[in-house]
Amino acid sequence: MFVNKSHEFRLYPTDSQKEFLAQHFGSCRFVYNHFLRQRIDFYAANKGKKKQGLNYFDTNKMLTILKKNPQLVWLRDVNSQSLQCSLRHLDVAYNNFFNKHSQFPKFKNKHGRQSFQIPQHFSIDTQKSTLNILKFDPIKTVYHRPIKGEMKSITISKTTTGKYFASILCEIENSVKVKKTGPKIGIDLGLKSFLVTSGGESVATPQFLRVSEQKLKRLQRRLARKVKGSNNRNKAKIKVALVHEKIVNQRKDFLHKLSTRLVRENQAIFAEDLNVKGMTANHCIAKSVCDAGWSEFIRQLKYKSEWSGTMFGKIDRFFPSSKRHHACGWINDSLTLKDREWICQGCGEVVDRDFNAAQNILQFGKLQSTGGHPETQRSGRPRATKLVTEPRIHRI
């Protein structure tokens, strides 16, 4: 089994290299925006005809003609393969939109994160700590970890804070052995606690955005007072971007460490398929939901489980994990978001909301993997029910 892994390293280019990098960023951005406009106009002019849109090969031929334009001779100074990669990224964005995997492609601007890709003809020198790419002198690079696997491509990027990075994509042969021993857990994600496991472990929510919110407000007020286009405004923008960068790095560090530990310690992990986008429509909890990073955490659990042989499964989002008592199956239809504990009328037991949800997710995940489902009892019925294993199809 071959998997793709990326290694990101910090670059320290010279002033002349920064200017040439800026030219690469601008040229790739121009090509992307130019052909995005060409594809939009072509579709509007040929809607309903046999050929309604342009593809990658059409835009690649048009790029060759575009570079011959006397007013765009500066496109020839840039690595041609990087320009072609911009067209490839545009084509992927179009296909994702028509396959309903993402929104319609947007025009790129020079104020956000900048990047360009180099598919081949690059090399690294770990002894001299340099990166060698076409049309560039060796760029100083800090290699803080060994590079494993076969290098496929490299992406040079610049953050909004002015830092440069090189992300090297490598193909690694990974021999996955399915775990046959170890605990199986269900996890319930929440706001009061980031997650509660069926084993009783509770991980507190770090709330990185909330911690830095006051400092961020102060810096944003200072930014609003600056004159647009002035050097002081640019300095204030960098200060705001540094705070956002720190929040992102803190959140990534927390999610990676937690997801890695859970995958290493357990044989199987089950989680709920949360509708995060729908939750952000509620203005009362939208900021906390976005600050938690649930979607990124589930994504990390999924691919790390595939790499390590851990079983990972999602249960249906409509399964009443919080309302159903895991011991007897009675469902509390009157449960609200503010109720952290409730009394089961089926057996009289005091139920902790988060721990009960984690237990239900574990039970349902185990039965779902074998083709069963737990039977539930509505609040109007006096007797409790138990788990049964009737065949039923659920989304995973």
DSSP calls for 324-376: B-TTT-BB-TT--TT-SEEE-TTT--EEEHHHHHHHHHHHHHHHHHTT-B---
Q: Are residues 109 and 78 in the same domain?
A: yes
Burial of 312 (0-12, 13-18, 19+ CB in 10 A): buried
Quick one: 16 and 146 in the same domain?
yes
What CA–CA distance (Å, rounded) separates 385 from 232?
68
Spell out the residues 6+ positions from residue 314 whose beta carbon is closer than 8 angstroms to its own.
Answer: 270, 271, 272, 273, 298, 395, 396
Pair (327, 261) in one structural domain? no
Which pLDDT tens digits describe the chain residue by residue (396 residues)? 788 999 999 999 999 999 999 999 999 999 999 999 999 999 999 888 888 889 999 999 999 999 999 999 999 999 999 999 999 999 999 999 999 999 999 999 999 999 999 999 999 999 999 999 988 999 999 999 999 899 999 999 999 999 999 999 999 988 888 888 889 999 999 998 999 999 889 999 999 999 999 999 999 999 999 999 899 999 999 999 999 999 999 999 999 999 999 999 999 999 999 889 899 998 989 999 999 999 999 999 999 999 999 999 998 888 888 888 888 888 888 888 888 888 888 888 888 888 988 999 998 888 887 766 555 555 544 333 333 333 333 333
The β-bridge relationship of strands 193-197 and 139-142 is unpaired
Residues 260 and 348 in one domain: no
- 298 and 321 belong to one structural domain: no
Host H or E run for residue 295: helix 294-308
- Domain count for the chain, please give it: 3
Asked, for residue 179, whether it belongs to a domain, the answer is no
- CA dist 383 and 31 (Å) reads 68
Q: Which domain holds residue 370?
A: 316-396
> Which residues, other chains included, contact 35 with Cβ-Cβ below 8 Å and sequence gap of 6+?
54, 59, 62, 63, 87, 90
Amino acid at 329: G
What pLDDT sits at residue 388?
Answer: 33
Residues 90 and 112 in one domain: yes
146, 6 Cβ separation under 8 angstroms? no
Note whether 305 and 324 are within 8 A (CB).
no
**DSSP notation for 169-236:** EEEEE-------SS-EEEEEE-SSEEEEETTS-EEE---HHHHTHHHHHHHHHHHHHSPTTSHHHHHH
Q: What angle do CA 310, 314, 318 make, to 5 degrees?
A: 165
User: Is 58 a residue of the active site?
Assistant: no
Widest distance between CA atoms in the chain: 84
Q: Is 220 a member of any domain?
A: yes
| Number of alpha helices (DSSP H) and beta strands (DSSP E) in the chain | 10, 14
Which residues, in sequence order, are CB contacts of 112 under 8 Å at separation 6+? 160
Q: What tokens appear for 74 in the block?
A: 């500066």
Q: Is 354 a catalytic residue?
A: yes
In a domain, residue 127? The reply is yes
Point out the domain boundary residue: 114, 145, 173.
173
Last residue of a domain, one of 252, 280, 315: 315
**339, 341, 354, 375: which is the annotated catalytic residue?**
354
Catalytic residue among 8, 77, 173, 188: 188
Q: Assess whether 268 and 133 both reside in one domain.
A: no
User: Which among 155, 157, 129 is positioned nearest to 143, based on CA atoms?
Assistant: 129
Q: Assess if residue 131 is contained within a domain.
A: yes
Tell me which of 146, 173, 200 is where a domain ends.
173
SS3 164: strand
Please indicate, yes or no, whether residues 237 and 305 belong to a single structural domain of this protein.
yes
Would you say residue 180 lies in a domain? no
Q: Is there a catalytic annotation at residue 272?
A: yes
Sheet order of strands, 150-158 included: 114-118, 150-158, 164-173, 2-12, 139-142, 130-133, 122-125
Q: Hey, what are 380's tokens?
A: 């109007």
The token pair at 115 is 């990047």
Tens digits of per-residue pLDDT, 141-153? 999 999 989 999 9
Reduced to 3 states, what is the DSSP secondary structure of residue 251?
Answer: helix
Q: What is the pLDDT of residue 298?
A: 95
CA distance 191 to 285: 9
Residues in Cβ contact with 145 at an 8 Å cutoff, skipping those fewer than 6 apart: 7
Is 191 in the same domain as 297? yes
In this structure, the answer to whether residues 347 and 395 fall within a common structural domain is yes
If asked whether residues 204 and 137 sit together in one domain, one would say no
Asked if the structure places residue 225 within a domain, the reply is: yes
Domain shared by 354 and 392, yes or no: yes
**Which one of the listed residues 272, 333, 349, 390 is annotated catalytic?**
272
Burial, 306: exposed, middle or buried (Cβ in 10 Å; 0-12, 13-18, 19+)? middle
